[in-house]
Structures are given as C-alpha cells and as structure tokens.
Structure 1
Amino acid sequence: MTSDEPDREHPNGFDWSKYESEVADVADVVDLGAARARRDGTNADSHFDIPLDEEPERGGVLVDAPPADAKGRRPIIPTRLLGWQNFKATVRDIAEDALHRAGYHAVRAPWYAMQAGFWATVGLFKVVGRQLRWWWLSEQYGLRQAAADANDPATWYKLHREVKATRAWRGIVLAAETAALAIGGPVAYAMAPWWVTGLAAAGLVCGLARLGRPQDKPILRPAVVAGRYRRVNPDIILRAYYAAGLGHPDKPNQQVTFGSTMSRDASGSGSQVVIDLPYGKTWEHVLNAKGAIASGLDVSVNQVFLTRDPSSHRRHVLFVADRDPLAIPAGRTPLLDGKVRDIWTEAPFGLDERGRKVGLLLMWVSVMVGAQPRKGKTFATRLLALFAALDPYVRLIVVDGKMSPDWDKFRLVAHRMVFGTVPNSRDNDPVEHLLEVLREVKAHIQEVNDFLSSLSTVECPEGKITRELSRKYPQLAVWMLVMEEFQAYYELDSQEQNKEIAALLSYIMAVGPSAGVILLSSSQKPSGVGAGDVGRLFNRYRDNHAVRFALKCGNRVVSEAVLGGEAYSEGYDASALPSGPQYRGVGYLYGASDDTPTVRTYLADHTDAEKILTAARKHRQAAGTLSGAAIGETITRDLRDTLADVRSVFLAGENGLHWATIAARLADALPEHYADITADAISAQLRDRVPSVNVKVRGEVLRGARVSDVDTAIDRRKSA
C-alpha cells in the first residue's frame, strides 16, 4: 500500500459503494451498550481500546480513520450525539458508567480506608526516616571514608567540620518543625471548622498512603478495565499473506497489492481492506490459507473474515476483528417485549460478525436448520417460530420428531401438535396424527390456490397472497409448519407410512411457500436417510429449502448437506465453525441474501419462550384466531374400515382374490384412501385377522384372501 490513494474507479471495476455502504449506512439509533460489548469483549463497561502493536511510522498510510462518506470525511457532529435518540442513549450510557463506578467504589470504601490507614502509617515512618537521613547527612560518610583510606587527614577533618555544622543547622530546622507541629497542630485543630480539619486529615492520610504503598499495589482498582486488541497495518497484512504462500515480495508479478485504503468498519469493531492476490492466485487459494493468514496476523482464526469480490477471482475483502466477535453473545431476543409482530416483516434473528442486526423475512421461503446436537439448532428454529407466534394471524403447526420438552409451551398457540414417532404420554398415535396434519396442510394449499384463482385481477393482480388478502380472508391466512428432526419421519418401521409422509412433505415443500405456507425444518442427520423413493424424496425435501442455517457440523459432508454443495466452494464450511459453549448459536445463514453472514443468534430459553407464548396467546384471543389444539380440538381422523373395504371389492360368486387384485380394486374404488396401496401393504394390514393363503383365480395360483375368511373376521369383530 502506498501513500497515494487509489482511484475511486478502480481499473478492475471495483465497486466502492459495496464496501463504503457499511460506513455510510449508520443505524438511526446507536446501541452503545452492544457496541461497547463488541469492542471490549466481556468488559461491557470498558471505554478505551489499547493497541498491543504500535502503528509504524509510515507516511500516507491511512489506518483506523472511520470516514462517514466516500471522501473520508468524519461527521461534524459525532454519531453518538446526532439526533435526539442518540443523544439520550449517550447521556444514559455516561450516567450508567458513572453509577457503576460510584457503586463499585462505594462497596469497597471500607477496604480502601483500611488500606489507606495501613499505608499512611508506613508513609509516616518513611517521612521520619527521610528527615533523619537528611539531618544526619549520611551521604557524606562515603567521602570521609575515602579520605581515611587515602590517609588524607586534612580532607577528613574538613569534611568532619562541615558535617557537624550542617547537622547542627539541620537539627535546629527539625526542632523548629517539631515545635511547630506540637504547638500549631493542636491550636489549628481547636480553631479550624470541622470540615477543614476533616479535609486536611484526609489529604494528609492520602498523601502518606501514596508515599507508603508500593508502586505495583494501588489502593483504588479501576471499575472499568480497558480492552486490548491487536492492531493490524499494511506491513502485518503483507507479512501474513507472504507467510501463507499467497505471493512473494521479491519475485516478479508475485506481490500482494491493496485495492483500497485500510479503514475501520462502521461499527468500529475491526479493520478492513481490499486485497488483490498475484495473478494466478484464486479465491480458493485464500480460503485454504485462512488459518495461515490468521497466524501471520497473530490473531485467532475466528477474527479473520474473507468476502469474495465479484469483480475479480483474485480479489477479496479482508476484515480483521479486534477480538473474537463470535464469542460475544448476541443477547436476549427482542421478542421478550411480547408485542404483536407481523410475519410480512423480518424476524430478528441475531447479530453478524460485525455486530450488525440480522433479520430474516420468512414469507415465501422455507428454512432448514442443521447442526450437531447441543449446538443451538432447536433454539434457532424455535426463535423463528416464536416470531410467527406473535403474529396472531399465522396458524402454527409444530411437529417434534425428537419428542423433547423444547416445544411443549407451543400448545398455547399451535393449531396442531405432534410429538415423537411412537405412542407416548403426549401423543397416543403420532405417526397417524402427522399424516392427518400433512393432509390438512395439503388440502389448505389446494384451497388457497383455488380461492386465489377465483379472485378478480383487481383484487389480486399478481395471483398470490398479499398481507391485505391474508387479513381479509381467513382461508388465505399464513401457515407455518415446523418440522423438528424431520428425518425421524423418513425412518419409520412402516415403509408405506414413510412413503406417504415423504410424498406429502415433498408436495408441501414444492407448492406450499407460494401458497403462504412457511416451512421450518431442523435436523442433526441431513443425509443418508431412507432408501429408494423415500431416500430420493428426502433429498428433494432437504435440498429445496430456500434458506439454510448451519451451526457447528460434524464434518464437511454434513455441512454440504445442510448448506448445499455450492456453499463450500464459496468458503462456507460449518464443520470449521469454532467449538465450545461460548459459540453455541453461531452459524452461517445461507441463501437469505446476497451475503452469507456468520450469525450469533439471539437467545430465548424455556422461560423466555413461555413468556413470549403467553403474550402470543393473549394476542390471538383478542384477534379471535385461536384454533385447533390451542382451544382443545383434536385431529379429526377419517378412519377406514379396512375389512369392510376389502369385502366390498369381492364380486358375487368370487370365492377368493389375489392380494394384487384386491389392492388394484381398492385403488380404483377408493382412490382418496388407497391410491398408493400395494399387495404387500394390504396383506400386512389384514395379517392378524385374515390369513394369507394360496388362491387360484383363472388358473393362476398366488397368495391372496378367501371371502369366507374375510366374512369370518367381520363376524368375529361384531361378536367381540
């Protein structure tokens, strides 16, 4: 980087507006507490950043200058004082700091007093000792000893006379000081007001304590600890890239160059610069060298963020955070205020690596969340569902394949709830209930499309749901289907149920979003599920999610299954995300926008979720939109009498039929229930009541059922 600033219009077509927009787009209200927490790590009350590396003396290198516009000019009025909201926030911030300091020192005041008394006593002895050494002129001892050693009596006597005279004079001074203190002290104490005496005593004690205490043991400890960070500069960046093997400073055409001046980002949390690699080096090279670059910068790999530049395959943006931003929690969800939300607006999701708020527009999309267990997958999915719950016009359906207590409180608002894959205390037949739920969603999608086609182009010009239509017509309400650990429903014991669930989910995924059905899916096993048609439908369901959020994954294969194969080539590998309790809820949000931020999700624990859902239920009661399980309704199941249905397909005079014939006739007669029935499936359904025997029909002997056995089973059931 040279002292000459590059042209604003870079010859390679570098889009300055993309990177300077981060500086120009300053939020209307500055969150000082959050900004300070980002700046200082765990010390949320710290105000000062102390660089560990001093900036070198280099003329013309622009560093750490936070420009407010494209010309690098700072605002005349600081951002924190610009506007009434910012001014109030600044005053509040200063007041909170002052109160914190006052409280911190007030609590420790007795301990301060004890230390001051002790060190003041030490200081008093030090003062007396210094006075005595001053009187005795002890420093002359070395001169007299030198004269004696040199056998120079004249010099020795001369020094001796001088020291006696000096001691006499200084003794008189000390005597006068002692007399003044002994006489003047009591007189001043008796005549001076009490507050003067108190101030004088306090000043004396403080002065003696300062004199008496060691330099490395201050009495007052700071209430606010200054943050520390590693400052980067062009020399350090070049050192890092050359050490990573991305160029060579002395070889022709192998130098790393800069496409912009270095500057602080808008949040003040780090430094960024555009890097041009040598010709022949690519984006893939820099991705593979990320760890080596971090080592060369002498920072954690979690502080290095690389963003591809579309103008050139050898150009990218390097952002180096002052501290590890992913270890700083995003804080509690803003949904805790319990206010009504609108599904047609962005759901607050978390903060990105630079502390900017990340929102997610849920309409028209499906979202998949994938991760290892206990990395924040359920919390992230539930956070989006809580946002939908606060919109009283959204109908919620929650299906929890892992049967955890995380979703229990959604009973307050959910239209349907399904738990687990086997009968349990919360759901006596979850698989059948799920099938009915998915059929209900499918019927709703069909109804929405039919209803939209009946509306005039004046009312519905684009042929799709709008916010106004969803409020006007109840049948056009937005639905949200939550599938927690959805892979569990592709691995059931019954292959027929697996196939039907897979087919229904694939249909809902393909058609649902355009009909206002939002899907939230989460999985810790996003690959290797099912076989044959079930496996194919599982992959189609997984791959068709428009938005992906991947938290820490076990390996690259799982990461690609969650994010998609193209994400890895763009530098996003969820298996490389950091591990540890402080990184729970950290993941890549892919597909929601042109950027792929590394998001720290907001936190809503069980208590928070219950509070939000309680408020959501009140909103729905006021709007009159509670339905289904939330008001005690059970799923209406269309139960079929399989024995009677099988008996109905026997024609007069037929003593037996092959299972394949029975299945075909059921599919023709009752397609709404038996469209996909097979010979094996119908045989399995009747196995415990109707024996499967060899039946001869038109000279062909195959396994089937006799009409007499079917009639016997029906009679036995009636008499039971």
Structure 2
Amino acid sequence: MKLNGTPNSMADVINLRPLPVSDPEPYDPPLRSAPRTEPPGASDVPTMQDTSYEVPLDDRDEADAPQEAPAESGAGRVLSGKVLRPAGNDAVTEGARRPIVPPVFRDAVTFKAAVRKLVGRWLHITGYHAVRAPWYALKATGYAALGAAKLARRQVRWWWLLEQEPLRQAAASKGDADLWLKLHREAVKVRTGRGLAVLAEVIGLGAGGVLLAEAPVEAAIVSGLLVLLLARHGRPAGRSLLGHAVIPSRYRIITHDVVLRAYYAAGLGHPDKPQQQVQFAAPGLAADGDGSKVTVDLPYGKGFNDVIKAKDALASGLDVALSQVFVSRDETSHRRHTLWVANRDPLAVPVGRTPLLRGKPTDIWEPAPVGLDERGRAVTVPLLWNSTMVGAQPRQGKTFFARLLALYAALDPYVRLSVFDASGKPDWRKFALVAHQFSSGLVMTRDGDPVEILIEALRELKADVQNRYQRLSDLPTDVCPEGKLTRAIARDPKYGMPVRGVFLDEFQEYYDTPDAEANKEIASLLLFLVKTAPAAGVFMVDATQKPSGIGAGQVATSFNSFRDNHQTRFSLRTGSWQVSDLVLGAGAYGEGLDSSLLLPSYKGVGILRGASDDTPTVRSHLADAEDAEKILLAARDLRERAGTLSGHATGDHTARQIRDVLADTHAMFLPAETFLPWQELAARLADKLPQSYGDLTAEAISAQVRSFGVPSVNGKRDGQVLKGAKCDAITDALKARTP
C-alpha cells in the first residue's frame, strides 16, 4: 500500500538494472516523487514527498533488486537516477578485504582509549540514574498504585460481566422479557463462577503475603518485582520511568530521492531535459562508516568544479550541515565523483591521544600517524623525502600538529633533529632533550644568540647536504644502488649520513630580525634547503601563522619561494580562502579546499594536501605538553641506548661565533704554502678555532669552501697525491665576493 504517492520500498525508488558503462544512450529508470499539483513548467525542481525520516537506508545488493520498475502513473513524475556498473575505483572498493582483527584491538593505546570511553559512558549513566534513584522510586510507587487500580478495575469488570450490560438493556428496551431473563440467568451463572475465581485469587495473594512475611529478603525481592510490573502497567502512555542520561542521536537518513532533490535544486541537472539527468554508479547509495556514500555521474557538460561551487546548495538540498557533506574526485571521469554525507558532524568528534604515548621506537622510513579523516580512517604523513608546511590562525592547533610530527621523528633514534622555535613558546623546549641543534625565541639566552645559532646550523646543514650528494654518488652500487640514501646507509655510523629533520615554528620571524644581513642569509639558506635537502635525506617541517609574506625585496621573494616549495601542506582554520590557498598551494580553492570554512571550535582539525592522492580533512591526535614530555623522555632513552644522542642534547650548549669560513680557511695557509689537503685544513681549523670547527670533518670543510666556487684539486703532500685547495683559488674567491 502506498501513502501520499510515496514508494513502498527502495525497490520502488530506484531500478538497479545493470547497464554497460560504454552505453551512451540516456536511461530513465523511474524514481517516483509525489504527484505534481502545480501546472507543468511551474517549477524546475519536482515536488517530492520527503521520506528521509521514513525510508531506511537502501543497502541491498544490485542482484537482489527487482529487474522491472513499476509503471509510472499519469500524475507521477520521473526523476532520472540510473545505476551504472562502476568502471574505476568502485570495483576495487567492492572487492576490498575487511581486516580480520578490528582496528580497536590492534594496539594497546587505541584499545585502552576505547575501553576508557566505554567505561566512562557507563559510569556516567550509572551516576546519573543513581542520583535520581529516590525520584525513580517515588515515580515507580505512584505508577504501581495506578497499575494496581487498573488491574482491580479490569478484574471487577470481568467478574461482573459488564460487557453483557448493553445486551440486557437492548432486550429491556424492546420489551423482550424472555431474552432479558435468559441473559440474566446466564449473567448470574457466569458471575458466580468468576466470583469464585476472584475469591481464590484474593485468598492466594493473602496466603502468599503471609508466607513472605516470614522471609523478608524474598518479600523485598517479590515486592520490588511487583512494583516494577505494576508501574509498567500503570505508567501513562508516552511516559518512561527513567530519564535519558545520554541524549540520543538523531540524524537525517539519506535516500536516492533526497540526493536527486539536492542535485536538481543546486542546478547540477534537470530531470526533464535530455542528457541532463543525474545518475548513480553501482552499487548506488550504501552505508559507509558513520554516513552514506554514493557515486554520482553528473550530466554531460557538468564537472567536479561545478559540484564544489554548489556545495552549499547541496547541503541545503540534503537538509544537513555543510560540515557533513564531502565530495571527492573520481579518476575515471571528470563528471563522476563520490558524495559522502555524514550522519553527524564528524569534525566535532575528537580522536583522542596520540598512539606515540606507547613510547615505542618509530621508523622514519614509514609515514607518521597524525589522526583520522572525516570517515574515521587513519591518516599518515610521509616525512622522509618531503618538506611539510603547517599554517593556521593562532590557537587553532598549528604548533601541536607540527610538534606531533617532531615527536614521531624523535622516537626514531637514528634521526638527527634540529629544532628552532622563533616564538619561544614552552611547546618546544623539551626537545632540548633529544635535539642535535636547538634554539628558542629571538632574544639572547644562556646558549647564545638564537639567530646566530640558527645561521650556524643552517650553514652546517647546507654543507652536509652538498657533501652528501658527492659522497652518495661516489659509493659503490652494491652499497648505494641508485645513488640515494638508504636505510642501511643512514643507520650505519661509519657513513655519517643519518636522516635529519629540521623543524621551524613561526619561521616568518626569521625573515624579519633586526639584522638585515642575517635576514638575507637565513632566507638564502632556507630556500636552498627546502629545494635541495629532502632528496638528500634531510626533511623539513615548517609552521607559520603568516603565510602571506614578510619583508621586502630579495627577502620577500625568498620567503614566497620557500613557502611555495613545500610538497606536503596542512592548513588548519585560516581567516580567508586567499590565506587558505597560500597554505595549501595555488589551485586548492578551485578544488574545493578552503580551510577558512572550518569552524573556530575545530581545534586540531585541518585539510591535508600533498601527502597522498586523497585530500582528507584530518582530526589530529592530541599530544599536550605532558604527553610530549613523556614521549621525549622515552625518545632520549632510545637514543642513549642506540648511542645516537648528540649535539645540544649531550650538553654541547656553547654558543659559537659566526665565522667567515672562506677567510678562516685562507688564514690556515702558511706564507710559503700554495696547497693544503682538506684533511689538514680541517685539522688546523679544529686546532686553531675549536669552538667553531671542533667537530669539522674534511668532507664538511671541502663542501663549504667549494660552495664559494673554489675547486677541489689534486696536490702532493708528504709524497702522496691528495684532494685539497690551492691558496690562490681561495684568494680569488675572496676578491670575487668583495663589493
């Protein structure tokens, strides 16, 4: 039976007959709407009965659906919504294997968090009802009294055979004495039998009460059960004995006709015009996590960009919040995309503490877990070979996210960390426990001038990167098959090429220090590193709240170039779509990526671009200051056991004066010397200037000097032919750079 023109089931809503993907002809399976009341042409969008709170989600397989759709009535209207066999990723998704072990049981941290959440929920429910127990007892007693009265009234009516009263009254009204006497005699007979039964009930209840009086425990149990049974019988309709400790969820059920209504209302198609119907790819609408998913084929001429522009209208047509609507591209066609509608706002649900709290060693060669996407799937960020930029307004979780990546790197004892925080916040100070190079703030500290420390560190990083490229190319192919850093090389101390991670928070401040010359050098060094260092195994993670630029002239140009050369980008809430585009990269807004639409209450929520083929909205794991300290203490212990603790973390906090490497090298030549090997140059520098060059290697000084254009040449020394530098070449380099 159909009511008000609504379909009986989803089989009436959509015909799931499979069609070949290559079929170019339009197909219009009937998707019924409510009968049309206005004249044709009065509205572009058909009037439909809203069944989104009435029709359950259609999750049946196509093979179970009927092959023929019911015929359309004359008053009805057809909405095209055909289901096609998927040609791309949908087929792979259908055949994907579900995990044998649920994710919640895979690690102790997740399992404990789930248990804590479950136990906390039930403790709350228990406490809520325990506080209200006296009121519940009073209500139950009152309802039980009503229930006893109802039962007594029902027994009396049954005993006195009151249902016969209308018959006797009708016989008396007609003057039929025989019928009246017959009914009366029957009533007396029945009342006598039922009266004896009622008397037996009363005697039985009385005897039971006497027996229970001798057993108070049993009497209390039986009395309690009787009160509950009578209260259930006596409670008014629609009233409950207990209240709700947790507000029950209510969400919009999405159906095919609701989706079509939304797309046609958004102007993404027309149900009556040829080739302008919205279509669905098989298996049609289906449950997907805490939401509904369907693959949509737009009419010819419409594409993914049109959906992005109409996202607001889609949310309105679906009658859900904008934060519940997510669309993603399909690789097989520009007019095909996947629509996922969450049952509730998924970004408002925190994902809990980071799994790094386990303190177990990590592997930088594997991506770092950072949180969950809108569908509750794990999201990871590959750090090695990449540079990552994090941008947001203040107090949106930018530092927490960058620190989360740093904590992951810290738990790999073979990663050498360089941490620089221009803001001087407490968030990064505990990294002094593990960092090889570290500075905080922009004012003088006991360790020296943070700007000078940064410049010296960047110079050393640049020299190391240049040296790595040469050394990797010189290694035999059986050790370095592709001329690239490998895990074995990075973890073998004899090669001296560990993976290095550089973390800069509020990096824009380093472009605007009071020292203009320092700004230029920092800008030049950072630009070199972001372009060149990742391929040598030196990755970067940089955070800023001002991605729009800073400074003027060469510094401003270098800043923009540095910002634009990050491969992976994470944007939490920003002030406008223009700023969002600067963080996420040019063209992000055109792809529907706009972090300015994130709500202020979404702490730690942002859009991740460049880490994978997908661009998820990520709810990042939480690691507060206490968590970070616990993780860093575990990381320090791992490094001490592995023997990889170095630099600042070992107590080497001596501030070194920024040196002119070229001039210092030239000063190492004696008056009669024209050539010095790199080994001897490094030894003399370490002997004469130990504070600046105490740990300098021959390879490092070679890379630094060669960066000024000084060639590395062969020369004789103590009867051996060694690589080194000529004094004249260094003199020429000094003259060439003199203004």
- Matches of 2:491 and 2:516 in 1, distance apart? 40
Q: Which amino acid aligns with 2:144?
A: A
- Matches of 2:541 and 2:103 in 1, distance apart? 39
- Deviation track 1:638-681 (CA, whole Å, cap 9, x = no partner) reads 3569xx99xx9xxxxxxxxxxxxxxxxxxx99899998776xxx
- Deviation track 1:2-60 (CA, whole Å, cap 9, x = no partner) reads 321233x5569xxxxxxxxxxxxxxxxxxxxxxxxxxxxxxxxxxxxx98341499856
2:325–2:339: 8 Å Cα contact kept in structure 1?
yes
1:367–1:521: 8 Å Cα contact kept in structure 2?
yes
Among candidates 379, 386, 390, match of residue 400 of structure 2: 379
Give secondary structure in 1 for the equivalent of 2:588: helix
1:448–1:475: 8 Å Cα contact kept in structure 2?
no
Give secondary structure in 1 for the equivalent of 2:479: coil
1:144–1:159: 8 Å Cα contact kept in structure 2?
no
Q: Which residue of 2 aligns with 1:565?
A: 586
- Return the offset for 1:107: 8.4
- Deviation track 1:400-444 (CA, whole Å, cap 9, x = no partner) reads 111111111111111122122233x57652222221121121222
Between 547-556 and 632-641, the greater mean CA deviation after superposition: 632-641
Among candidates 302, 311, 325, match of residue 281 of structure 1: 302
Among candidates 268, 272, 280, match of residue 258 of structure 1: 280
- Deviation track 1:457-488 (CA, whole Å, cap 9, x = no partner) reads 32222222111001113520111111101011
Between 347-356 and 538-547, the greater mean CA deviation after superposition: 347-356
1:51–1:229: 8 Å Cα contact kept in structure 2?
no
Name structure 1 gaps, 5 residues minimum. Answer: 13-49, 649-667, 679-720
- Paired residues for 1:406-555 under 5 Å: 406-423=427-444, 428-473=448-493, 475-555=496-576
Q: Which amino acid aligns with 1:291?
A: D
1:5–1:261: 8 Å Cα contact kept in structure 2?
no
- Paired residues for 1:43-58 under 5 Å: 52-55=53-56
Question: Structure 2 vs 1, CA of residues 84 and 368 (structure 1 numbering), >3 Å: closer, same or farther?
Answer: closer
1:6–1:260: 8 Å Cα contact kept in structure 2?
no
Give secondary structure in 1 for the equivalent of 2:599: coil
- Return the offset for 1:99: 11
- Paired residues for 1:93-242 under 5 Å: 108=129, 111=134, 115-132=139-156, 169=192, 174-183=198-207, 185-186=209-210, 200-220=222-242, 227-242=249-264
- Return the offset for 1:330: 2.1
- Matches of 1:558 and 1:116 in 2, distance apart? 60
- Deviation track 1:278-313 (CA, whole Å, cap 9, x = no partner) reads 222222211100111111111222222111223333
- Deviation track 1:531-578 (CA, whole Å, cap 9, x = no partner) reads 1100111011110111111111111111111111122222212222x2
Question: Structure 2 vs 1, CA of residues 157 and 279 (structure 1 numbering), >3 Å: closer, same or farther?
Answer: closer
1:278–1:314: 8 Å Cα contact kept in structure 2?
yes
2:429–2:440: 8 Å Cα contact kept in structure 1?
no
- Deviation track 1:468-519 (CA, whole Å, cap 9, x = no partner) reads 0011135201111111010111122222111111011111112211221110
Q: Which residue of 2 aligns with 1:664?
A: none
Give secondary structure in 2 for the equivalent of 1:359: strand
- Are 1:244 and 2:254 counterparts? no
Give secondary structure in 2 for the equivalent of 1:229: coil
2:52–2:255: 8 Å Cα contact kept in structure 1?
no
Q: Which amino acid aligns with 2:18?
A: E
1:412–1:614: 8 Å Cα contact kept in structure 2?
yes
Number of aligned residues? 603
- Return the offset for 1:632: 1.4
Between 554-563 and 430-439, the greater mean CA deviation after superposition: 430-439
Q: Which amino acid aligns with 1:614?
A: L
Q: Which residue of 2 aligns with 1:598?
A: 617
- Return the offset for 1:590: 0.9
2:365–2:487: 8 Å Cα contact kept in structure 1?
yes
Q: Which amino acid aligns with 1:508?
A: L
- Return the offset for 1:126: 3.5
- Return the offset for 1:121: 3.5
2:15–2:83: 8 Å Cα contact kept in structure 1?
no
Give secondary structure in 2 for the equivalent of 1:231: coil
Give secondary structure in 1 for the equivalent of 2:229: helix
2:291–2:343: 8 Å Cα contact kept in structure 1?
yes
- Return the offset for 1:221: 5.8
- Are 1:4 and 2:5 counterparts? no
2:160–2:191: 8 Å Cα contact kept in structure 1?
no
- Are 1:622 and 2:636 counterparts? no
2:259–2:318: 8 Å Cα contact kept in structure 1?
yes
- Matches of 2:418 and 2:470 in 1, distance apart? 22
- Matches of 1:538 and 1:117 in 2, distance apart? 75
- Aligned CA RMSD, in angstroms, stands at 4.4
Give secondary structure in 2 for the equivalent of 1:336: helix
- Over the matched positions of the two proteins, sequence identity in percent amounts to 47
Q: Which amino acid aligns with 1:631?
A: T
- Deviation track 1:140-191 (CA, whole Å, cap 9, x = no partner) reads 899999999x99998999899789959974666655543443356425766x
Question: Structure 2 vs 1, CA of residues 636 and 79 (structure 1 numbering), >3 Å: closer, same or farther?
Answer: closer
Q: Could you state the TM-score of these two structures normalised by the residue count of structure 1?
A: 0.73
- Paired residues for 1:324-335 under 5 Å: 324-335=345-356
Q: Which residue of 1 aligns with 2:343?
A: 322
2:447–2:654: 8 Å Cα contact kept in structure 1?
no
Question: Structure 2 vs 1, CA of residues 598 and 10 (structure 1 numbering), >3 Å: closer, same or farther?
Answer: farther
- Matches of 2:446 and 2:619 in 1, distance apart? 33
- Matches of 2:151 and 2:487 in 1, distance apart? 82
- Matches of 2:560 and 2:95 in 1, distance apart? 52
1:51–1:228: 8 Å Cα contact kept in structure 2?
no
Question: Structure 2 vs 1, CA of residues 185 and 102 (structure 1 numbering), >3 Å: closer, same or farther?
Answer: farther
- Are 1:342 and 2:342 counterparts? no
- Matches of 1:72 and 1:230 in 2, distance apart? 25
Question: Structure 2 vs 1, CA of residues 178 and 459 (structure 1 numbering), >3 Å: closer, same or farther?
Answer: closer
Question: Structure 2 vs 1, CA of residues 124 and 565 (structure 1 numbering), >3 Å: closer, same or farther?
Answer: same
- Paired residues for 1:627-706 under 5 Å: 627-638=646-657
- Return the offset for 1:450: 3.4
Q: Which residue of 1 aligns with 2:316?
A: 295
- Return the offset for 1:204: 2.5
Q: Which amino acid aligns with 1:439?
A: R
Q: Which amino acid aligns with 1:3?
A: L
- Return the offset for 1:454: 3.4
Give secondary structure in 2 for the equivalent of 1:566: coil
Question: Structure 2 vs 1, CA of residues 596 and 81 (structure 1 numbering), >3 Å: closer, same or farther?
Answer: closer
Q: Which amino acid aligns with 1:127?
A: L
1:101–1:223: 8 Å Cα contact kept in structure 2?
no
Q: Which residue of 2 aligns with 1:696?
A: none
- Are 1:272 and 2:285 counterparts? no
Name structure 2 gaps, 5 residues minimum. Answer: 1-13, 25-50, 59-64, 68-81, 668-728
Between 558-567 and 414-423, the greater mean CA deviation after superposition: 414-423
Give secondary structure in 2 for the equivalent of 1:262: strand
Q: Could you state the TM-score of these two structures normalised by the residue count of structure 2?
A: 0.71
- Matches of 1:426 and 1:671 in 2, distance apart? 39
Question: Structure 2 vs 1, CA of residues 95 and 168 (structure 1 numbering), >3 Å: closer, same or farther?
Answer: farther
- Matches of 2:438 and 2:93 in 1, distance apart? 57
- Are 1:612 and 2:631 counterparts? yes
- Return the offset for 1:239: 0.8
- Return the offset for 1:367: 0.3
- Return the offset for 1:243: 0.2
- Deviation track 1:352-396 (CA, whole Å, cap 9, x = no partner) reads 122111112211110001111111111110000000000111111
Question: Structure 2 vs 1, CA of residues 180 and 355 (structure 1 numbering), >3 Å: closer, same or farther?
Answer: closer
2:524–2:558: 8 Å Cα contact kept in structure 1?
yes
- Return the offset for 1:72: 6.3
1:68–1:74: 8 Å Cα contact kept in structure 2?
no
2:263–2:317: 8 Å Cα contact kept in structure 1?
yes
